[in-house]
């Protein structure tokens, strides 16, 4: 039976938690006064009754500094407990919460249905830490969406699309998005996000990190937009020590911890890319508005159909769209045999933002390229999935 502990004095919120827990989650709830935070972890556990908790909810009505201090200690001493902070999510709070080991930051006005889903995911995360990642995967419990960003050829802006997609999803689900750079030899996610990671994917797939998701999280780099990043190896030669099995295990781990796993793959259909597609719920194919990349994408779809590796969710992105290229959106669709779902017009701001290491969706740019990237993000936002995706291509306009 799942155990929940809420440290709050706000009765309305306590009632919503109790309503979310009752029935569907098969657990019970104990409420503690915010005064307990002043005594530290020992005082908290002295007041607990019954079995140790799986999920601890901090707030509302608690001092954020006290809550984050307690969370830091709990993350080190009791990593099997999932911690949730109830506070108005500001960039500063989210960043501090990520460092403190808190799983999610939620607004005090969250409704019962969203709260129930959040608590269920927290329970699954707690269970995975206790039983091991393999048992969780075999049990068929809820997993995050694995989004493979791909292109048969390089130079089409795949990494720019991947980083902007991750940052955009970070606004939809703060602290629940991780981007993985699987271009193991020449990946540019770190530079695209202006990061200087202490660790890389090489360390994450070997040793204790490959067995424990809490250890794995220590190898992720926090980005100011509220997402995590697992960057490519510092030396191209390190890619030789990362196998397809390593990639499979890594994605399985991340999918149990995060709502969205964005994987920036290497161009082509190498073993690491195919391993990703076997687990992907969605594929984002990026194509330039030139004949080689369009024909390459057609061949790519043909091969993946034969291998039966096309994910259920298909999202085709036409990048660098320009009427002066001599090719229309309809020409591209006729060649590749599938609709274009998102068009990103050629823009001066996009390469400029990439060179700065600040994705356009991290700022307030309103140019046509930013609008196209936002439409791509909306395809993964459950609140905005109202337009049939197969028809979106008919509304695009190339400037």
pLDDT at residue number 139: 44
Q: Is the confidence at residue 105, as pLDDT, over 70? A: yes
Q: What is the mean pLDDT of residues 301-305?
A: 91
Q: What is the mean pLDDT of residues 380-386?
A: 73
In our burial notation (b when 16+ CB lie closer than 10 A, e otherwise), range 360-395 reads: bbbeebeebbbebbbbbbbbbeeeeeeeeeeebbee
Q: Is 286:317 a contact under the CB 8 Å cutoff?
A: yes
Q: Give the pLDDT band of residue 397 (cuts 50, 70, 90).
A: very low
pLDDT at residue number 53: 85
Q: Give the pLDDT band of residue 385 (cuts 50, 70, 90).
A: low
What is the residue-wise DSSP string for 133-190?
A: HHHHHHTT----EEEEEE-SSSSSSHHHHHHHHHHHHHHHSTT-EEEEEE-TTT--HH
Q: Is the confidence at residue 336, as pLDDT, over 80? A: yes
pLDDT at residue number 322: 85
Q: What is the mean pLDDT of residues 356-364?
A: 88
Q: Is the confidence at residue 151, as pLDDT, over 90? A: yes
Write the CB contacts of 109 (distance below 8 Å, at least 6 apart in sequence).
none
The two tokens of residue 346 are: 């050629």
pLDDT per residue as tens digits for the range 5-62: 999 989 999 999 988 888 667 778 889 988 888 877 777 878 887 767 889 999 898 9
pLDDT at residue number 234: 87
Least confident segment among 119-128, 193-202, 260-269, 324-333: 119-128
Q: Is the confidence at residue 364, as pLDDT, over 90? A: no
Q: What is the mean pLDDT of residues 365-393?
A: 75
Q: Is the confidence at residue 149, as pLDDT, over 60? A: yes
pLDDT at residue number 96: 86
pLDDT at residue number 340: 92
pLDDT per residue as tens digits for the range 171-203: 998 889 999 999 999 999 999 999 999 889 998
Least confident segment among 11-20, 201-210, 342-351, 379-388: 379-388
Residue 223 vs residue 211, higher pLDDT? 223
**Helix or strand holding residue 373 (H, E):** helix 368-378
All structural domains of the chain, each given as residue ranges with its CATH number in brackets, are 2-131 (3.40.50.2300), 145-395 (3.40.50.300)
pLDDT at residue number 130: 65
d(CA 67, CA 50): 23
Q: Is the confidence at residue 134, as pLDDT, over 70? A: no
Q: How many CB atoms lie within 10 A of CB 299?
A: 12
pLDDT at residue number 2: 60
Of the chain, the percentage scoring pLDDT greater than 90 comes to: 42
Q: Is the confidence at residue 394, as pLDDT, over 70? A: no
pLDDT at residue number 147: 96
Q: How far apart, in Å, do the first and last CA atoms of the chain sit?
A: 57
Q: Give the pLDDT band of residue 129 (cuts 50, 70, 90).
A: low
d(CA 366, CA 156): 22
Q: What is the mean pLDDT of residues 286-303?
A: 92
* Secondary-structure breakdown of the chain: helix, strand, coil percentages, each rounded to the nearest 5: 50, 15, 35
**Helix or strand holding residue 376 (H, E):** helix 368-378
Q: What is the mean pLDDT of residues 85-94?
A: 87
Cα-Cα-Cα-Cα torsion 15, 19, 21, 23, nearest 10 degrees, comes to 150
Q: What is the mean pLDDT of residues 116-131?
A: 77
Query: What's the Cα-to-Cα distance from 230 to each of 182, 193, 364, rounded to whole Å?
Result: 9, 11, 25
Q: Is the confidence at residue 317, as pLDDT, over 70? A: yes
Write the CB contacts of 151 (distance below 8 Å, at least 6 apart in sequence).
158, 267, 285, 286, 287, 293, 296, 297
Of the chain, the percentage scoring pLDDT greater than 70 comes to: 90
d(CA 263, CA 163): 10
Q: 11: left (phi > 0), else alpha (psi -120 to 50), else beta?
A: alpha
């Amino acid at each position: 039976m799942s155990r929940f502990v809420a440290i709050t004095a706000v009765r309305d919120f306590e009632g919503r938690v109790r309503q979310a827990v009752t029935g569907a989650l098969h657990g019970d709830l104990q409420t503690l006064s915010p005064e307990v935070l002043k005594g530290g972890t020992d005082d908290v556990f002295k007041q607990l009754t019954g079995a140790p908790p799986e999920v601890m909810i901090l707030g509302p009505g608690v001092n954020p500094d006290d809550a984050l201090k307690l969370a830091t200690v709990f993350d080190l001493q009791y990593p099997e407990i999932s911690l949730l902070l109830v506070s108005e999510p500001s960039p500063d709070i989210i960043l501090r919460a990520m460092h403190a080991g808190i799983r999610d930051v939620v607004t005090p006005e969250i409704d019962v249905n969203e709260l129930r889903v959040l608590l269920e995911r927290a329970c699954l995360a707690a269970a995975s830490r206790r039983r091991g990642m393999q048992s969780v995967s075999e049990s068929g419990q809820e997993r995050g969406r694995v989004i493979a960003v791909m292109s048969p050829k390089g130079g089409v802006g795949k990494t720019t699309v991947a980083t902007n997609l991750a940052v955009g999803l970070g606004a939809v689900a703060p602290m629940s998005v991780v981007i993985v750079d699987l271009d193991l030899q020449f990946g540019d996610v770190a530079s695209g996000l202006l990061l200087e990671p202490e660790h890389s994917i090489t360390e994450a797939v070997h040793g204790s990190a490959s067995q424990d998701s809490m250890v794995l999280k220590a190898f992720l780099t926090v980005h100011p937009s509220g997402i995590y990043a697992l960057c490519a190896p510092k030396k191209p030669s390190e890619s030789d020590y990362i196998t397809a099995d390593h990639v499979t295990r890594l994605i399985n781990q991340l999918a149990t911890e995060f709502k969205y796993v964005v994987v920036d793959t290497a161009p082509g259909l190498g073993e690491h890319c195919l391993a990703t597609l076997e687990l992907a719920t969605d594929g984002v194919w990026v194509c330039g508005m030139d004949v080689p990349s369009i024909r390459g994408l057609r061949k790519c779809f043909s091969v993946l159909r034969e291998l039966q590796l096309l994910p259920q969710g298909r999202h085709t992105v036409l990048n660098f769209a320009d009427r002066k290229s001599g090719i229309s959106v309809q020409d591209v669709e006729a060649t590749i045999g599938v609709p274009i779902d998102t068009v990103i017009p050629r823009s001066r701001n996009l390469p400029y933002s990439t060179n700065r290491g600040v994705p356009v969706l991290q700022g307030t740019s309103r140019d046509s390229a930013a609008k196209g990237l936002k439409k791509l993000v909306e395809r993964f936002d459950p609140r905005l999935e109202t337009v049939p995706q197969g028809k979106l291509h008919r509304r695009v306009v190339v400037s």
